[in-house]
């Protein structure tokens, strides 16, 4: 098969002295001839933008959709997860740094056209594809082309993202996504500036636009790091913002940090810290709050906000019981926010049969 790269990138404009400006994300890198952006995968080649990672994923895996994490979007189904090298953030605590901090030519990759990605997802019995592991915004052209192929086959698409995307690309990128998990890493500008080398403002803007301007189903993740973003005041402020700006039905996942990359000196997040954050979020009125990366079945179960019964019981990523019909609680009829198609064939525990090959 012929090589698929370098591939013409989009969302850039010509600048002076042969330089080009990328406007795909708020970083707006100004690139001279031969220079790659902060994300490593977009490069000025002969005065035009090239996407070095197009058609060349370095990570490819079948995951339960709960691992993204998404708890309210086709629960119990498998998803084909795809990632490339590179990232447009510089998180000191990155939990995937072997991928996000690699250049496109430093990681083993395989050639995979959008059509081949979708055929692989179908062959593996997946109901959807995820653009994940690293930041999919930086390889938006490839993700969009895969999404178009996926939709032709009736598969859904998911972006797992930091939300650090520019105005120029937002509409088109999310027009091709059915669901997203946005990682809101903290709720202070200082944390974003010092520990992610980015800004909180554009992330809040992305989340607000997802809620107000799109039909994309989305959930939020907050990785809690001991001493860095684990204060009760910060968690409460985040939850107040979610209920006020987005409403109580947006699921929120508090996940545990483990020492990684440039933050090897901090301990893992204690389970009790996550449980306390969950209590704060429930106290602030959020309906669906989860803990992740730890064993806590109650904290991973979906509880009906009306009658209080368990409608999807989970342990880690596994479903133990499923009590929804038409997206409603089987006990009281309350609509549960999310996407729960009844035509997915489930066994008694809630796991689904793979799609026919």
The residues that touch ligand SF4, with contacts defined as CB under 6 A, are 22, 24-25, 27-29, 37-39, 42, 88, 138
Identity of the residue, 32 or 295, whose beta carbon is nearer to ligand SF4 in the bound complex: 32
Q: What is the largest CA-CA distance in the chain?
A: 67
Identity of the residue, 4 or 23, whose beta carbon is nearer to ligand SF4 in the bound complex: 23
Q: Which residues contact 233 (CB under 8 A, 6 or more apart)?
A: none
SS3 2: coil
Identity of the residue, 101 or 313, whose beta carbon is nearer to ligand SF4 in the bound complex: 101
CB 65 within 8 A of CB 80: no
Closest CB 195 distance from ligand SF4, rounded Å:
17
Identity of the residue, 37 or 299, whose beta carbon is nearer to ligand SF4 in the bound complex: 37
Identity of the residue, 27 or 314, whose beta carbon is nearer to ligand SF4 in the bound complex: 27
C-beta atoms surrounding 352 within 10 Å: 18
Closest CB 17 distance from ligand SF4, rounded Å:
18
Rounded CA-CA distance 126/80 in Å is 6
Identity of the residue, 153 or 172, whose beta carbon is nearer to ligand SF4 in the bound complex: 172
Q: Which residues contact 302 (CB under 8 A, 6 or more apart)?
A: 71, 72, 288, 310, 311, 312, 313, 314, 336
Closest CB 316 distance from ligand SF4, rounded Å:
33
CB 59 within 8 A of CB 324: no
Closest CB 174 distance from ligand SF4, rounded Å:
16
For residue 169, how far is the Cα from the chain centroid? Answer: 17
Rounded CA-CA distance 160/181 in Å is 5
Rounded CA-CA distance 44/5 in Å is 14
> CA angle 134-140-144, nearest 5°?
120
C-beta atoms surrounding 137 within 10 Å: 26
**CA distances to 166, 271, 285 from 237, in Å:** 25, 21, 13
> CA angle 237-90-158, nearest 5°?
70
Closest CB 104 distance from ligand SF4, rounded Å:
12
Closest CB 168 distance from ligand SF4, rounded Å:
10
Closest CB 26 distance from ligand SF4, rounded Å:
7
Identity of the residue, 25 or 310, whose beta carbon is nearer to ligand SF4 in the bound complex: 25
CB 55 within 8 A of CB 113: yes
Identity of the residue, 35 or 334, whose beta carbon is nearer to ligand SF4 in the bound complex: 35
Identity of the residue, 90 or 125, whose beta carbon is nearer to ligand SF4 in the bound complex: 90
Going by C-alpha positions, the residue among 319, 355, 349, 309 that lies closest to residue 72 is: 319
Closest CB 196 distance from ligand SF4, rounded Å:
13
Question: Cβ-closest residue to ligand SF4?
Answer: 37
Rounded CA-CA distance 154/173 in Å is 18
Rounded CA-CA distance 344/142 in Å is 28
Closest CB 167 distance from ligand SF4, rounded Å:
12
């Amino acid at each position: 098969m012929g090589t698929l790269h370098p591939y013409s990138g989009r969302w850039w404009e010509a600048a002076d002295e042969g330089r080009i400006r990328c406007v795909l994300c708020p970083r707006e890198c100004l690139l001279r001839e031969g220079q790659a952006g902060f994300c490593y995968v977009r490069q000025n080649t002969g005065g035009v933008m090239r996407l070095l990672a197009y058609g060349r994923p370095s990570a490819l895996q079948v995951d339960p959709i709960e691992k993204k994490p998404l708890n309210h979007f086709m629960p119990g189904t498998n998803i084909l997860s795809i990632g490339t090298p590179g990232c447009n953030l510089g998180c000191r605590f990155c939990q995937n740094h072997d991928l996000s901090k690699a250049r496109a030519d430093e990681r083993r990759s395989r050639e995979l056209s959008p059509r081949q990605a979708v055929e692989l997802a179908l062959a593996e019995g997946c109901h959807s594809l995820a653009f994940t592991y690293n930041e999919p915004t930086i390889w938006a052209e490839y993700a969009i082309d895969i999404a178009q192929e996926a939709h032709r086959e009736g598969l859904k698409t998911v972006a797992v993202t930091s939300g650090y995307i520019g105005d120029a690309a937002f509409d088109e990128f999310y027009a091709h996504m059915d669901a997203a998990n946005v990682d809101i890493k903290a709720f202070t500008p200082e944390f974003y500036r010092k520990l992610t080398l980015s800004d909180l403002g554009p992330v809040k803007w992305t989340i607000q636009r997802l809620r107000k301007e799109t039909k994309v189903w989305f959930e939020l993740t907050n990785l809690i790091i001991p001493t860095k973003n684990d204060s009760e005041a910060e968690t409460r402020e985040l939850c107040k913002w979610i209920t006020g700006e987005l409403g109580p039905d947006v699921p929120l996942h508090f996940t545990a940090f483990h020492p990684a990359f440039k933050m090897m000196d901090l301990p893992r997040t204690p389970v009790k810290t996550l449980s306390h954050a969950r209590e704060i979020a429930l106290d602030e009125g959020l309906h669906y709050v989860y803990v992740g990366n730890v064993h806590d079945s109650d904290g991973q179960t979906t509880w009906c906000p009306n009658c209080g019964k368990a409608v999807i019981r989970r342990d880690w990523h596994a479903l133990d019981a499923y009590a929804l019909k038409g997206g409603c609680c089987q006990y009281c009829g309350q609509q549960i926010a999310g996407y729960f198609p009844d035509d997915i064939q489930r066994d008694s525990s809630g796991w689904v049969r793979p799609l026919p090959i």
